[in-house]
Amino acid sequence: MPKAVRLAVLVSGGGSNLEAILTARTSGQLENAEVVLVLSSKAGVYALERAKKYQIETAVVERSAFASDDLFQAAILKKLAQAKVDVVCLAGYLRKLGPSIIQHYRGRILNIHPALLPKFGGPGMYGHFVHEAVLAAGEKESGCSVHVVDEEFDHGPVLSQAKVPVLSGDNAETLAARVLEQEHKLYPKSIREFCEKI
């Protein structure tokens, strides 16, 4: 069997998508990839606890610790290199990756976004803002998208999507929960399919 693809999962918050990836791995549904590093942009987030539970190496790289964005990006790149990461998966990571990282891992950085891209993506479209915008637009359906990351927010080629209905009476919270349930299925499946091809 070929060697498992080495994944870094980048987080900034709760890490439920991280958990879905780790669960998929332990239950044999993600046999071709392993998480070797969980890197957070913030200390103290629950995603780091989840990683520790699975005995996965963690790193916290906070922007405030660096004098410039270049130094911050270089520190992230160094962590990825030290862990010999093949593919980077953003899972609720709220900072923009700099050009040095995008160039180094061109075509090998994935993200999950809680809407049907290209709609409802771009700067400021994260968390409840996405779901509020979907509701305000009167959309009949929403969902989630896994895409390749490029220099622009939520912009690279979409690899897969899952749809959910928008129900009358939905608020951002109920819609987010319905979408998140699909994210947890879609992301591990998309990562497996992506890793089969590289």
Catalytic residue numbers read: 113
Radius of gyration (C-alpha) of the chain in whole angstroms: 16
Written as six digits, the tokens of 114 are 């809680």
B/e letters for 102-126, b = 16+ CB within 10 Å, e = fewer, are beebeebbbbbbbbbbebbbeeebb
Find the binder of ligand GRF among 7, 8, 10, 15 (CB under 6 A).
15
Q: Which residues are within 8 A (CB) of 152 and not within 5 positions of it... i.e. 6 or more apart?
A: 122
Of the pair 74, 180, the CB lying nearest ligand GRF is at 180
Binding track over 23-62 against ligand GRF, x by CB under 6 A:
----------------------------------------
Instruction: Please report whether residue 154 would count as binding ligand GRF according to CB under 6 A.
Output: no
Binding track over 90-119 against ligand GRF, x by CB under 6 A:
-xx-------------------xxx-----
Of the pair 113, 192, the CB lying nearest ligand GRF is at 113
SS3 40: strand
Smallest distance from ligand GRF to CB 183, Å = 5
**Alpha-carbon separation of residue 128 from 84, 146, 195 (angstroms):** 34, 18, 30
Of the pair 79, 178, the CB lying nearest ligand GRF is at 178
- Antiparallel, parallel or unpaired: β 33-40 and 58-60: parallel
Binding site for ligand GRF (CB under 6 A): 13-17, 91-92, 112-114, 144, 180, 183
